[in-house]
Amino acid sequence: MFDLSTVKGIIFDYGGTIDSNGAHWAEVLWDAYQDVNVPVTKEAFREAYVYGERYLATHPDVQPDHNFYDLLKIKTDLQIGYLKEQKMLDDNDKTAGYSLVISKQCYNFAKEIISKEKVILKALRDRYPMVLVSNFYGNVQAVLGDFGLLEFFDDIIESAVVGVRKPDPAIFGLGVDKLNLPASSIVVIGDSHAKDIVPASKNGCQTIWLKGPGWGDDDENATADIVITDFMELKDIFQLN
């Protein structure tokens, strides 16, 4: 059970939590595909999205200095390329520009959301030590720096760097160690029940689940100490001015 009076530190997830207000990035990208009128089904897009994620898990295309726009461009290039190779999308001058437009739209989407959240992050940072724990591609420092977020975190635990990925509870254990606090006095805030809330709970942390448009991978009965649907609800939860 969440008890504000006992909270001494915070662990934040990044992707899907801070950069999209709880929306799974597959859903954000799909919205952009629809806005740009890419003529593919959602099923085809999902297949291309999974292909891209699996490819990046084994190929070092993402470099440490790549910001979020660079990452989005790499991802959408892989997706569009896959859709063309599988004959799900025509290869012509029009489709050649899809990746650029989608990447820009999604980058601006994240930038706008983050700009609104900074007042909350600053207020929390003024009160608590904070660590970020994220499954990422080795470039989260560059991403955070580009968005002006580095100042809010005392340390960053990135899966590609430490060699442990969510939902392994050990990656949250590293976050607990960095805070050097009892796990029961730490609250973990994340958008994925399976990858954030469950492993955080196994470490004995309190949990806040930012539940947004997911990808159908969370149990319908899943819950946390607190469930919110908007990042800005943290203002009331933590009684911030």
Say what the pLDDT of residue 170 is. Answer: 98
CA 25 to chain centre: 7
Q: Specify the pLDDT at position 217.
A: 64
Whether the CB-CB separation of 17 and 194 falls below 8 Å is answered with: no
Each residue's pLDDT, cut to its tens digit, for the chain (241 residues) gives 899 999 999 999 999 999 999 999 999 999 999 999 999 999 999 999 999 999 999 999 999 999 999 999 999 999 999 999 999 999 987 788 999 999 999 999 999 999 999 999 999 999 999 999 999 999 999 999 999 999 999 999 999 999 999 999 999 999 999 999 999 999 999 999 999 999 999 999 999 999 998 766 667 788 999 999 999 999 999 999 7
Q: Distances in Å between the alpha carbon of 67 and those of 63, 132, 158? A: 9, 17, 15
Residue 86 has what pLDDT? 97
How many other CB atoms are there within 10 angstroms of residue 160's CB atom?
18
Burial 84-96 (b: 16+ CB within 10 A, else e): beeebbeeeeebe
Residue partners of 236: CB distance under 8 A and separation at least 6: none
| Residue 148, CA distances (Å) to 96, 109, 179 in order | 31, 15, 22
Q: Output helix, strand, coil percentages for the chain, rounded to the nearest 5.
A: 55, 10, 35
- Which residue from 195, 220, 225 is spatially nearest to 207, judged by alpha carbons? 225
Please give the Cα distance from 25 to 15 (Å, whole number): 8
Instruction: Provide the pLDDT for residue 83.
Output: 97
